[in-house]
Chain A
Amino acid sequence: MDIIIVGVGGQGILTCSNILARASMNAGLNVITSEVHGMAQRGGSVEVHVRIGDVHSPLIPLGSADAMIALEPVEALRKAEFIGKDSLVVVNTKPIVPVSVTLGLARYPDVDEVIDAIKSVADRVVHLNAFEIAEKAGDVRSANVVMLGAFAKHTELFTLKELEKAVKDVLPEKVHDVNIKALRLGYELA
């Protein structure tokens, strides 16, 4: 099972991959993740590869991700080379507008346009506004965990319960409640 998580530096993408990795370890599965530090963290595009099962190398082959979790819409497009017809793509519809747009050097597309573009590659596309759902859960910073909840609903890899345990294993206790709520809301509303 290959899962690519994409988004913008600061959205909690590493937390997502750590939760998935923990859930894998809890289930007795092999797991490798791959990330890039440094330049990538300064508000730039971030991608993390999560590979679960009988794999050796850290990078998902092109066109072969079983799932993509996109915490930001256009970031799903930027990494579209990793998805294919059979990929499940879960997209957060809340844009983070890059500075290139504010400076007037580029345009941010309509989110519908983005979703349509993803659908032209992958058959299974699920989209939700994780930002609003996270607000409901009590903290906008839990949007990443909302996305994991949404992912859990459409995959048989992990049950919601297994992910709840992994969330508790990975995150500090004081944020357990809000994140479990975020996970469940993501699951329900996706």
Chain B
Amino acid sequence: MHVLGSEGEKAFLLGNEAIARGALEAGVDVFACYPGTPSSEIGDTLAKVSKLLKDFMHVEYSTNEKVAFEVAMGASLAGKRGMCAMKHVGVNVASDALFSFAYIGAVGGFVLVTADDPFMHSSQNEQDNRWYGLSAKVPVFEAHSVQELKDLTKECFEISEKFGLPVILRTYTRLSHARGIVRLGKIPEKKLEKVEWVAKPEKFVVLPSNARKLKLELEKKLKNLQDFLERWERNWVEDGDSRLGIIACGLSYSYVKDALKRLNLNLPILKLSSMHPLPMKKIEDFVTSVERVLVVEEVDPIVEIFVKTLTKNVYGKLTGHLPMHYEYSIPIVEKAIAKLLNIPTRLDYDRIVERAREISKIAPPRPPVLCPGCPHSPVFYVLRKIANEVKCALPSDIGCYTLGYNPPYRAVEVCVCMGASVGVSNGLSWVIKDKIIATIGDSTFFHAGIPALINAVYNGAKFVLVVLDNMTTGMTGHQPHPGIGLKADGSVGKAIKIEEVAKACGVEFVEVVNSYSVRNVEDAVRRALDHDSVAVVVAKQLCSIVRMRELRRKGVKLLPFEILQNKCNNCGECYRVFSCPAIYLDGEKPQIDPALCTSCGVCARICPERAIKVKKS
């Protein structure tokens, strides 16, 4: 594994692999995560490593981000090094623990990795998680390159221990999913050895009387850290020959460097990696050494607001020189600098975009789609059919199946956050006249669906919950979850059945159907709709990517389906009502691409003419 290369070697690492390597070099003892793009490969890498470096550390996929945070927190409280990783919105789930853990403080090094997603490449919002640092009084760090990301990860553990604080490492899509050359450090030879529990109830129990004392200690710790950060080597100044200076935060430093090169400029730069606390003295020195300062940071103008307390001559998002939305790039930063210096950008970027937009008009849209053989497709096909007859509200949730939003299914009408399908259905059931069919994935059900389901049983809300159980966490790269009973290190754990959980929650109508059996799915959902309290239908079938991978490994050759052209009357049911990406139009008539067909047989089941059969080889 290239992430396990030896000290001094150069490896080409994904940003998330660099974080994993940094954690290994720090000798992390416990790592926990709930997968979420763009953070997932941190856990996936450490999970793979845990199979090779047995006893080095404990790695787990937790049921949700709050649990993952608490798992790592437990390790820290016992003096061990703990780390958790999540996408930015995952921190919302974990934040309850975050705010109070700040008061208690870290014993063993504790690092929370938040992977923010400017531009929302695969997220529902682009929240800036540096605010959590300010609000929860937790230090926040950012890196400008994959190399620094690796080094900084390791250093975060040291800072956490030195100052007794949990630490947030903020990364983003363009760093987590960038690859760069990294010079590797040393992974210590160690084993995770158990220690005696040292109880410190006056510190670990946040009763108000304790919390009041802890708050004062926290303020002191942050002050000490701020003094340290004034001299910290990752906050540095580069001299220049202009009265315009730039404060470049984390990855934005890389855009600034490239933009200045394109403009042939040499401006003074203050590069910052500590986002909270800010080295205010260092910033003040820098600001007074220039006339004007441009602050470059993604996503919100946080540093800019602080710099504004030192000088009026600060430019950035609040002045409209940089956008308040989406991710940065070289041209965006170049434009801001050029505007302040009243010079042209290297190229006319607006014209380039305009011309490209013009010629790309003939390109048909290619949104992401559910895969060939995806077990969610037949369920959505059924739900659309039912919703065409009986007016229904169709709340859904976070996962691959959110793509059920697209035509032809249009079976996702609400999607907010993990587990909200069930919570929203509770609320809808008290106020709308229509039926409600909610959809939620298996991993999402375990993550945040259960409390809202219990709520529905307890309060008597009435709706149908269809659990789209594809036996994996599909969207984020097929991580196992409690329903499967496989653990991160590949060992067997205890599988928890969704249908049994639903029954134990008090749901009376619980049925399990095979997602590919369209008729059974339809029958179960229709009966569930007639049931007089909350009803759960578990539509179960292995994710087609995982299924195909397993079959390939076993050497099983599947026989693809074909459309009998003499029987097909081109009604469109298989490609226009049910939408399988393996079915394409060859002229007017549909054909099945044998290279894409997964032999799920759903098209054959729904074909009114019975014109689809297994291809005879």
Interface residues of A (CB under 8 A from B): 8-9, 17-18, 21-22, 25, 30-45, 55-59, 61-64, 74-75, 77-81, 84, 97-109, 113-114, 117-118, 120-121, 140
Contact = CB atoms under 8 A, between A and B. Distances in A.
Contacts of B174: 34, 58-59
Contacts of B323: none
Interface stretch (B129-137, B176-184, B486-494, B526-534): B176-184
B202 to A, nearest CB: 44
Interface stretch (B78-86, B227-235, B579-587): B579-587
Nearest to B122: A38
A56 B347 contact: no
The 7 closest A-B pairs by CB, nearest first: A38-B122, A38-B37, A106-B364, A44-B368, A81-B356, A42-B368, A57-B254
A106 B360 CA distance: 13
A44 B366 contact: yes
A30 B144 CA distance: 16
B19 to A, nearest CB: 15
Contacts of B181: 25, 30-31
Contacts of A98: 364-367
Interface stretch (B103-111, B210-218, B326-334, B457-465): B326-334
Interface string B119-133: 001100000000000
Q: Which of B368, B370, B576, B581 has the most CB of A within 10 A?
A: B368
Contact of B360 (A17, A40, A77, A108): A77
Contacts of B344: none
Contacts of B145: 56
B254 A61 contact: no
B370 A42 contact: yes
Given A37-B38, A56-B253, A56-B254, 9 more contacts: A21-B179, A34-B178, A42-B369, A61-B331, A78-B363, A80-B360, A81-B357, A99-B369, A100-B364
Interface stretch (B156-164, B278-286, B400-408): B400-408
Q: Which of A9, A58, A77 has the most CB of B within 10 A?
A: A58
A86 to B, nearest CB: 11
Q: Which of B258, B355, B583 has the most CB of A within 10 A?
A: B258
B330 A40 contact: no
Nearest to B145: A56
A98 B575 CA distance: 12
Given A57-B255, A80-B356, A99 B581 contact: yes
Nearest to B253: A56
Secondary structure at chain B's binding surface: helix, strand, loop or mixed? mixed
B237 interface: no
A43 B368 contact: yes
A35 B368 CA distance: 16
Contacts of B253: 56
B10 interface: yes
Contacts of B407: 103, 105
Interface in B283-306: none
B364 A39 contact: no
A107 B363 CA distance: 8
B221 interface: no
Contacts, number: 185
B584 A97 contact: yes
27 contacts: A18-B12, A21-B12, A31-B12, A31-B180, A35-B179, A36-B38, A37-B177, A39-B121, A41-B368, A42-B370, A42-B403, A43-B369, A55-B258, A56-B253, A59-B330, A61-B330, A62-B331, A62-B349, A62-B353, A80-B360, A98-B367, A101-B585, A102-B585, A103-B575, A104-B576, A117-B359, A121-B356
B364 A108 contact: yes
B285 to A, nearest CB: 24
B366 A8 contact: yes
Nearest to A119: B359
Nearest to A44: B368
A61 B258 contact: yes
Given A62-B347, A99-B581, A57 B368 contact: no
Interface of B: 10, 12, 37-38, 40-41, 121-122, 144-146, 173-175, 177-181, 251, 253-255, 257-258, 262, 329-331, 334, 346-347, 349, 352-353, 355-357, 359-360, 362-371, 400, 403, 407-408, 475-477, 575-576, 579, 581, 583-585, 595
A140 B595 CA distance: 10
A109 B353 CA distance: 21
A9 B28 CA distance: 34
A36 B347 contact: no
Contacts of B180: 31-33
A38 B475 contact: yes
A40 B403 CA distance: 12
Contacts of A77: 359-360, 362-363
A105 B576 CA distance: 10
A94 to B, nearest CB: 13
Nearest to B144: A56
A59 B177 CA distance: 11
Q: Which of A45, A62, A64 has the most CB of B within 10 A?
A: A62
Contacts of A101: 364, 585
Contacts of B334: 61
B353 A38 contact: no
B258 A121 contact: no
A110 B365 CA distance: 15
A97 B596 CA distance: 13
Contacts of B357: 81
A99 B408 CA distance: 10
Contacts of B257: 56-57
B299 to A, nearest CB: 16
A22 B12 contact: yes
A187 B459 CA distance: 69
A34 to B, nearest CB: 5
A134 B357 CA distance: 32
Contacts of A35: 177-179
B367 A100 contact: yes
A74 B368 CA distance: 15
A36 B369 contact: no
A61 B262 contact: yes
B584 A102 contact: yes
A43 B581 contact: yes
Given A21-B179, A57-B255, A106 B365 contact: yes
Contacts of B359: 77, 80, 117-118, 120-121
Contacts of B403: 42
Contacts of A32: 146, 178-180
Contact of B352 (A22, A58, A84, A108): A84
Given A63-B349, A101-B364, A39 B262 contact: no
Given A35-B177, A36-B177, A61-B334, A103 B408 contact: yes
A123 to B, nearest CB: 14
A45 B367 CA distance: 7
A44 B403 CA distance: 12
